[in-house]
Amino acid sequence: MNVITSPETVTAAAPAGALLLRVLDVRHYTDSLFSFRTTRPASFRFRSGEFVMIGLMVNGKPLFRAYSIASPSWDEELEFFSIKVLDGPLTSRLQKIKPGDEILMRQKATGTLVNDALVPGRRLYMLSTGTGIAPFASLIRDPETYEKFDEVVLTHTCRQVAELRYGIDLVEAIRGDEMLVELFDPGKLVHYPTTTRESYQRQGRITDLIRSGSLFADLGVPAFDPTVDRVMICGSMEMLRETKALVEEAGLAEGSNSRPAEFVIERAFVE
Amino acid sequence: MTFVVTDNCIRCKYTDCVEVCPVDCFYEGENMLVINPDECIDCGVCEPECPADAIISDAAESAEDWLAINAQYAAVWPVITEKKDPLADAEEWNGVPDKLRFLSEEAAETA
């Protein structure tokens, strides 16, 4: 196995049209989760919540996977939040990157978890499990989200407490960021982390918490209402299927870029 | 796993899917688009964008024949990477059942 990450050799080997990102910072949270920040090419544009293909040169060939961009569209750097899969073709290698390395990115960002795919409403729910929080990490740092909605509820459900750390640090950083606080009221953001395997202040799968009404009781709001509530969902295939069925039962319709509606879904990409 | 284009694309060819595909895996025939199953990353973003609801997951039972058709024409038609105007009478053809008989095997004319 030969993985190229040194700047000169990546530049020489990169496929046509691929952009190069210089790694600036890497943080490991658990055995299975890490985040990293990179430079952002001046030509690269995206909407908060979108994903893009990133990759490495492996054995002389580019290997790409879809990653949600965790940083907001105004940020001069890019941020990603990734799982580590022991025998994952990309993540087993990507988890070894360090500052100064270069990775590849394709130029086209896309996705459905964007403000444009929702019709106006009052309250925006972002329901996530695992690395599915990544697109929401982008959206909750974008002032546009708070211009469109009076209240933003971010739920994040993981097996273990340690897996919630990225989201907890993120929300703390937003509340303490003087520049962001000038642009929007962080009081509009409600963070609702839960665990499924370890003891924590709130426990349970988000689907169970919706079904039982606990989510709404804890927030002190009525159940999903298609006239005021909008929902974005990002998690495993199983979580998506179940949660989609619940919001459809509540009368919300699925939106897209060309036909905005009351909810949108996207999978948390896994290898 | 991949997504595939089915017959309701035929004689419509709206191309909204092309705009959102992160890997540019749509290929263009004279009156239909297809997905290259080897290039599709199964992200699903194109599915809700199609005004004709012509895109389905190959996990669907009805997808088997479409998978073969998509693979066959993706190998010979040119790639399409940018949205363009739909065919002139797309609105009239959207929803007409069993359009496979109208499929043109011709590749799209490239500019």
Name the pLDDT band for B111 (thresholds 50, 70, 90): low
Which comes out higher in pLDDT, residue B1 or A96? A96
User: Does any domain span residue A270?
Assistant: no
Report the alpha-carbon distance of residue A161 to residue A261 in Å, rounded. Answer: 34
* B12 Cα to chain A: minimum distance (Å): 16
Domain count, chain A: 2
What is the greatest pairwise CA distance in chain B? 37
Question: Under an 8 A CB cutoff, do B43 and A52 touch?
Answer: no
Domain boundary among A89, A106, A123: A106
- Does A1 have pLDDT greater than 70? no
Residues 5 through 64 of chain B touching chain A, CB cutoff 8 Å: 16, 19-24, 41, 43-45, 48-49, 51
Closest CA to A204 of A269, A129, A270, A263: A129
- Does A271 have pLDDT greater than 90? no
Closest CA in chain A for residue B39: A64
Tell which CATH architecture fits domain B3-82.
Answer: 2-Layer Sandwich (3.30)
Per-residue model confidence as pLDDT tens digits over A2-25 = 788 888 788 778 887 899 999 999
User: Does any domain span residue A271?
Assistant: no
Do A100 and A122 share a domain, yes or no?
A: no
Question: Under an 8 A CB cutoff, do A267 and B43 touch?
Answer: yes
Give the mean model confidence (pLDDT) for residues A37-66. 95
Closest CA in chain A for residue B18: A110
For residues B50 and B12, the answer to whether their CB atoms sit within 8 Å is no
Per-residue model confidence as pLDDT tens digits over B45-65 = 999 999 999 999 998 888 999
Q: Which domain holds residue A45?
A: 3-106
- Does A81 have pLDDT greater than 90? yes
Per-residue model confidence as pLDDT tens digits over A223-246 = 999 999 999 999 999 999 999 999
Contacts of B16 in chain A (CB under 8 A): 257-258
Report the alpha-carbon distance of residue A264 to residue A266 in Å, rounded. Answer: 7
Domain boundary among A85, A106, A127: A106
